[in-house]
Amino acid sequence: MKIKVCGMRDRENIQELLELHPDYIGFIFYEKSVRYIGGQLDPSVTAVIPEDTGKVGVFVNADPDDILGKIDQYGLDYIQLHGRESAVYCTKLANEGVQIIKAFSVDDQFSFSVMDQYMDCCRYFLFDTRTTSVGGSGKKFNWEMLNEYSLSKPFFLSGGIGPDDAEETAGLRHMCIHALDINSRFETMPGYKNIDQVKKFIEKIRAGN
């Protein structure tokens, strides 16, 4: 099971994180997020990220041209779409060679059937907890709902995963779980991760696989 650490923006914190060899590292380009990178992230920071760590840019209902520009500027490998992006929207980006992670907000009324139309245009799906905000809520949805997922598309599991969840997440053996996405519950402040907590979590997850 792979690990994505999202919401990074501090140069030194990123360098510390890279010593743990995460599988993915996420940068938020959504202006309303408290983890929005704004003008804080110099492209030289992402330029030295090893090829075996996927660089993920997180966007919400963004202009496709802006997304393509950020891919070029920061050398992004994947784009995580966290808004109301349609399958048509995703297909247009996919036709430009963009690798898409499409996020879906899950609550007790969520139906996995909505994702059928996204199968051909997205590389991965991501399941997060539905809240009034977008991402980084620190809240879990009912993971038992994953038993209803019958599609073949691999997905990222997000939403409220914290340092104390290592044993439970390591025990998840759903056939399509590709990666765990951790963020707010590992922070000392928005956008700054407690590297010791992340290290212990990654070690436990990898030891359990």
pLDDT in tens, 51-100: 999 999 999 999 999 999 999 999 999 999 999 999 999 999 999 999 99
What would the 3-class secondary structure string for 75-116 be? Answer: CCCEEEECCCCCHHHHHHHHCCCCCEEEEEEECCCCCHHHHH
When pLDDT is cut at 50, 70 and 90, the band that residue 187 belongs to is very high
pLDDT at 133: 62
- Report the alpha-carbon distance of residue 163 to residue 90 in Å, rounded: 33
Taking the C-alpha atoms of residue 57 and residue 100, their distance in angstroms, rounded to an integer, is 10
* Distance from the Cα of residue 187 to its chain's centroid: 15
pLDDT classification of 155: cutoffs 50, 70, 90: very high
Domain ranges of the chain: 2-207
> Where is average pLDDT lowest: 85-99, 131-145, 165-179?
131-145
Question: pLDDT tens digits, residue range 29-44?
Answer: 999 999 999 877 899 9
CA angle 175–127–50, rounded 5-degree value:
80
Give the span between the Cα atoms of 158 and 6, in whole angstroms: 10
Q: Output the CA torsion sign for 30, 34, 40, 41.
A: negative
CATH code given to domain 2-207: 3.20.20.70
